[in-house]
Amino acid sequence: MESASLYLVDERIKTFKNWPFSDKDKCNVRNMAEAGFYSVATGDDDADAAKCFLCGKELDGWEATDDPWAEHKSHAAQCAFVQLGKKENDLMLSEFLSVVQQYMINETTKRFATNAKEKIDENAKLIRRRIMASK
């Protein structure tokens, strides 16, 4: 799990360390975070890489005039957060809890899948060793 609280806009804002756009641009840090994105940049080559905390859609190639909500909707219309279409502060409690619940389900599923893959990989290595030892 990348962060247990990426469903909170303030936590997503903290991830944008070297965002290439200023607060004056449409594609600023606050607008990105409010649209559900957090930064997944690893260096200069992908300084504008961002990912949705809920649906996992990752986008890069942002321009200063891009509207993060419109881009999110354009590339991931099925995202439950996009379908709500509201900033965190505008969500009703039931909507917010629904988002948190879906986030936790997604994170648990990812963790389960990762653990299952690791076990399969370990078993495959063991079987390969046994095959190689029997030759």
Of 108, 55, 59, nearest to 82 by C-alpha is 55
For the record, the structure tokens of 103 come out as: 């986030």
Contact 55, 76 (CB under 8 A): yes
Which pLDDT value is given to residue 53? Answer: 93
Q: Is residue 135 pLDDT above 80, yes or no?
A: no
- Structural contact between residues 7 and 99, judged by C-beta atoms closer than 8 angstroms: yes
Q: Tell me, what's the pLDDT at 4? A: 65
In which band, very low, low, confident or very high, does the pLDDT at 1 lie, cut at 50, 70 and 90? very low
pLDDT exceeds 90 at position 112: no
Q: Which two tokens stand for residue 26?
A: 């449409």
Domains and CATH numbers, the chain: 9-134 (1.10.1170.10)
